[in-house]
Amino acid sequence: MEINLLEKQQEFLKLLQTQGKSFNTVKNYKADLQCFNVFLLDKQQHLKIREFTTQQVQEYSYYLDNKYDSPNSVRRRVQALRLFFDFLMAQNLFPDNPLKKMAVSPKVLDNPEPTPFPEVLKTYQILKKRIQNTDGLAQIVNARNLVIFHLIYGAGLKVSDMAKLHFTSILKDQKGFRILVEHPKRDPYSVPLPASFNADFLFYKTHYQQLLKKEELEIKELLFNANPYKILAGGLSPRGTELFFEDLRKDVKSDMTAKSLRQSCIFKWLNQNINHTTIKEWLGVAPSYSLDLYLEELKQNPVGKVYKDIQDQE
């Protein structure tokens, strides 16, 4: 039986969406699979296949090596195709995954590109002013955005970590608050939040819950999705967070992303002489994860890599 690749790729991408993958992640998978489609068409094959042979796997490997200079670009496209063939196997359309034996270069870590601290501080000030200059739902959305800022720069959370947080994820301790991060495949862990989070969070929680009560909404998630007129649902998708940063970049006039802000947090912890094992725990990465690139950047440019907790500047 011939498999219509375009139809199956669309099914695969929809599956990724239902799994909560961000808009950009799905878009990247689509581009990676399109690279495979172009390869097949260059080889004068149509986009309906019965099999993908070992020889074709080798030819695709050569094709990628010649097309891309970056080993990471090759690696990403191979990984996308592997996952797609896993999807086909799960539907009993392929007996095994032909990409499993395709060797790729080890992943090359890119040098960190953190948001400079003056831009981090400016971002905080802009978010505070937005809250002061608005009211009603707009004010609560701005307060939510400030909480997002604290969760990334204050606690190093990834966008995917924040999507399903509940108010019960915010833990009170003697020094202030911690954020509890839970993953289905590993033990939960908590990260301390800076003192500047306290008042901003309590303002947000009070006004958000007052609005929920007024609108007779039962939402347990810490963050929410809204249009200019009403709250639509609890939880904020990775795409929703990306839209917030797209809007923010216009005011801050920087290239800040959630990733660059998280990298700024890592430098902040290094400046605070936090134990490296602890930093890895807070980042939710494996003990084998290397901070060497951050340490080298810090060594080469110690003045430019000075990051502090926001309250130190107030």
The whole-angstrom separation of Cα 239 and Cα 28 is: 13
pLDDT tens-digit series, residues 213-263: 999 999 999 999 999 999 999 999 888 898 899 989 988 888 899 999 999
**For residue 209, what pLDDT band results from cuts at 50, 70 and 90?**
very high
- The domain locations on the chain are 3-101, 117-313
- The per-residue pLDDT for range 259-291, each reduced to its tens digit, is 999 999 999 999 999 999 999 999 988 888 889
Residue 76 has pLDDT above 90, yes or no: no
The CATH H-level (homologous superfamily) assignment of domain 117-313 is Intergrase catalytic core (1.10.443.10)
| Intrachain domains 3-101 and 117-313 with the same fold | no
Mean predicted lDDT score pLDDT of the chain: 89
- What does the pLDDT average to over 6-13? 93
pLDDT confidence bin for 14, thresholds 50/70/90: very high
Q: Is the pTM of this model over 0.75?
A: no
pLDDT band at 311 (very low <50, low <70, confident <90, very high): confident
Instruction: State the pLDDT at residue 314.
Output: 46
pLDDT tens digits for 132-150? 999 999 999 999 999 999 9
Instruction: Determine the average pLDDT of the residues in 110-122.
Output: 91
pLDDT at 58: 85
**Domain 3-101 is classified in which CATH homologous superfamily?**
Tyrosine recombinase, N-terminal domain (1.10.150.130)
| pLDDT at residue 106, as a whole number | 58
What is the predicted pLDDT for the residue at 104?
Answer: 62
